[in-house]
């Protein structure tokens, strides 16, 4: 096994075994490349793990997520190219993950960092050597969007969407136990959707409905007031540090999150950053608050309307349909703030 796998958290290792009982050994050399190992130091929570506004203290890394996506793709396809596309899909993720999309003004799609994926792979001597040895072209692995099992459009179910739903439910927000994760995963198979494309889908309505219940809760968590506030707050601090020549965008791709936090704590933003870290609750208002730093924006809506036997669950289950509609009705109109300015 690789150093990464040998050292991974025991709970994560057990989760990986649910996704694929027979870990593909050939994947290890790719995981051990410098570009992927950097992802060990980035939390999938987009920085929210560092604030008391959020209860989770479980560090699930961007690399853990990428390996898990690769395991799901391998489990259902046993195709090396598709599996590598899944492994590489977040290789261009910077520190604080989607906060940098907020920094780039891309808070609705949250895809701005993906543009660097091809460049990072091509510039990696290690990865390119492995691909050449395995007779795989970079064009076949840098864009996971070309493989519908790895990725597809919302609200379809893909390996990426499935993985962050399962791991967030299990580790970050503790909505499900490992046994329930296994029951959900074991109910999934490859089906054909209404567009005659292959897609991951459920065998039974009961399990699909449970999945919709959990992912609808997660969908709100991903865009609730405190989440939007925190992601924009981190993005704005990074922007100010960049303007002050204390950090560069390139640093966000090279440094660990802990190292970026150290830079913040050595800056003039230390006090407000620590106020955010210690905060237990954000404040909200319908009208613009005066004299404080506030956030007032929409955010990407992540939700899933999975197949059950080739049909969308929203079409064949009234309960699931209502859960999805209630989720989509969540409003993001509030002004969100804490009691400080950002000078």
Give me the domains of the chain, ranges plus CATH numbers: 1-343 (1.10.3210.10)
State the pLDDT at residue 107. 42
Per-residue pLDDT of the chain (343 residues), as tens digits, is: 679 999 999 999 999 999 999 999 999 999 999 999 999 999 999 999 999 999 888 999 999 999 999 999 999 999 999 999 999 999 999 999 878 765 666 544 545 556 789 999 999 999 999 999 999 999 999 999 999 999 999 999 999 999 999 999 999 999 999 999 999 999 999 999 999 999 999 999 999 999 999 999 999 999 999 999 999 999 999 989 989 999 988 899 999 999 999 999 999 999 999 999 999 999 999 999 999 999 999 888 999 999 999 999 999 999 999 999 999 999 999 999 999 988 7
Q: Are residues 178 and 282 in contact, defined by beta-carbon separation less than 8 angstroms?
A: no
Residue 168 is classified by DSSP as: I
Q: Are residues 149 and 71 in contact, defined by beta-carbon separation less than 8 angstroms?
A: no
CA distance 151 to 148: 5
Q: Are residues 341 and 223 in contact, defined by beta-carbon separation less than 8 angstroms?
A: no
Name which of 143, 80, 79 is nearest 111 in CA terms. 143
Q: Are residues 90 and 67 in contact, defined by beta-carbon separation less than 8 angstroms?
A: no
- Burial of 109 from C-beta contacts in 10 A (0-12 / 13-18 / 19+): exposed
């Amino acid at each position: 096994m690789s150093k990464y796998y040998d050292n991974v958290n025991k709970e994560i290792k057990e989760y990986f075994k649910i996704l694929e009982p027979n870990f593909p050994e050939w994947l290890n050399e790719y995981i051990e490349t410098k570009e992927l190992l950097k992802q060990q130091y980035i939390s999938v929570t987009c920085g929210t793990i560092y604030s008391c506004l959020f209860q989770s203290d479980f560090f699930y890394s961007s690399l853990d997520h990428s390996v898990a996506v690769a395991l799901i793709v391998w489990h259902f396809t046993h195709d090396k190219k598709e599996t590598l596309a899944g492994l590489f899909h977040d290789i261009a993720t910077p520190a604080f993950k989607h906060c940098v999309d907020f920094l780039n003004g891309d808070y609705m799609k949250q895809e701005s960092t993906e543009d660097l994926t091809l460049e990072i792979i091509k510039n990696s001597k290690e990865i390119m050597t492995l691909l050449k040895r395995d007779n795989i072209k970079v064009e076949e692995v840098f864009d996971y969007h070309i493989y519908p099992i790895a990725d597809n459009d919302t609200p379809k179910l893909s390996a990426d969407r499935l993985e962050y739903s399962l791991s967030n439910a299990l580790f970050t927000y503790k909505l499900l136990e490992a046994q329930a994760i296994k029951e959900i995963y074991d109910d999934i198979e490859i089906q054909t959707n209404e567009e005659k494309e292959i897609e991951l889908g459920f065998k039974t309505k009961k399990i699909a409905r449970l999945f919709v219940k959990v992912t609808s809760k997660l969908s709100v968590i991903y865009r609730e007031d405190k989440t939007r506030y925190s992601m924009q707050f981190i993005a704005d601090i990074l922007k100010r540090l960049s303007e002050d020549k204390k950090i560069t965008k390139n640093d966000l791709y090279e440094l660990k999150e802990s190292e970026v936090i150290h830079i913040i704590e050595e800056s003039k933003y230390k006090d407000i950053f620590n106020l955010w870290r210690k905060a237990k609750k954000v404040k909200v208002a319908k009208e613009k608050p005066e004299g404080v730093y506030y956030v007032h924006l929409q955010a990407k809506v992540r939700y899933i309307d999975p197949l059950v036997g080739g049909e969308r669950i929203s079409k064949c289950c009234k309960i699931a349909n209502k859960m999805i509609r209630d989720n989509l009705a969540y409003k993001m109109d509030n002004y969100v703030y804490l009691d400080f300015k950002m000078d």
